[in-house]
């Protein structure tokens, strides 16, 4: 069946398991395309153009925004980050789904774009805030002040849970991965997303007419 690719938005507070789940989902289905962001910050050692980011200048980035070539964008610590539209549209035409690892603000912008009708949005919650804080501390990367800031930001993120199509509580990584697979499978099989279904049924009905 012909199918237009989906835009899969995966959001969660930091530490809820979003990045791990995204990697697992792409290991399960290698046809999934991960949305590579454009940024105005300089490349870090080891970062590859087109694989980790599309590196560009502030002027070129803002021109893309003005021309409607960004599905979503934001300024973070003085640098611009955004999701270019053209690679997503190319994947859609090929029937490939694109996975977005974005926050609620990025999700809002994508849903409000011209491609919003192809969006499936999923929010991942932690089993509890104490468990979320424990996971952040287990990383051993941040000071108490940074963790406190992340926890405050997490509360703000969680407050937007009702804007999403699906909400999962990640208290068991394997179970949550299975739920993600089920969501993606079901969304792909929706009648209105199977472009060649009408032609197939017509042929089916005419076989022994």
Residues annotated in a binding site: 12-19
- Sign of CA pseudo-dihedral 62, 64, 66, 68: negative
Which stretches of the chain are DSSP H helices? 18-28, 58-66, 85-93, 104-111, 129-138, 144-158, 173-188, 197-206
CA separation (Å) from 51 to 18, 30, 35, 48, 144?
19, 15, 10, 5, 33
Q: Which of 175, 168, 197, 202 is nearest to 24 (CA)?
A: 175
Binding residue positions for ATP: 12-19
The CA-atom distances, in angstroms, between 88 and each of 34, 56, 199 are 9, 18, 26
**Assigned token pair, 84:** 């270019």
Rounded CA separation 27/17 (Å): 15
Q: Are 101 and 7 in contact (CB under 8 A)?
A: no
The β-bridge partners of 39 are 55, 81
């Amino acid at each position: 069946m012909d199918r237009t690719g989906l835009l899969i938005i995966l959001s969660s507070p930091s530490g809820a398991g979003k990045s791990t789940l995204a990697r697992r989902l792409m290991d399960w289905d290698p046809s999934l395309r991960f949305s590579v962001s454009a940024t105005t910050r300089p490349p870090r050692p080891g970062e590859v153009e087109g694989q980790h980011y599309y590196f560009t200048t502030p002027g070129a980035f803002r021109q893309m925004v003005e021309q409607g070539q960004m599905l979503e964008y934001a300024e973070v610590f003085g640098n611009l980050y955004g999701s270019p539209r053209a690679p997503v549209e190319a994947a859609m035409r090929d029937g490939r789904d694109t996975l977005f690892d974005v926050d609620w603000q990025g999700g809002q912008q994508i849903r409000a774009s011209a491609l919003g009708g192809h969006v499936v949005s999923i929010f991942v919650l932690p089993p509890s805030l104490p468990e979320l804080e424990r996971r952040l501390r287990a990383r051993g990367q941040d000071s108490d002040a940074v963790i406190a800031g992340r926890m405050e930001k997490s509360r703000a993120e969680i407050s937007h849970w009702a804007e999403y199509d699906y909400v999962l509580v990640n208290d068991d990584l394997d179970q949550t991965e299975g739920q993600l697979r089920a969501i993606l499978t079901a969304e792909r099989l929706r009648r209105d997303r199977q472009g060649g279904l009408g032609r197939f049924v017509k042929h089916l009905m005419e076989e022994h007419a």
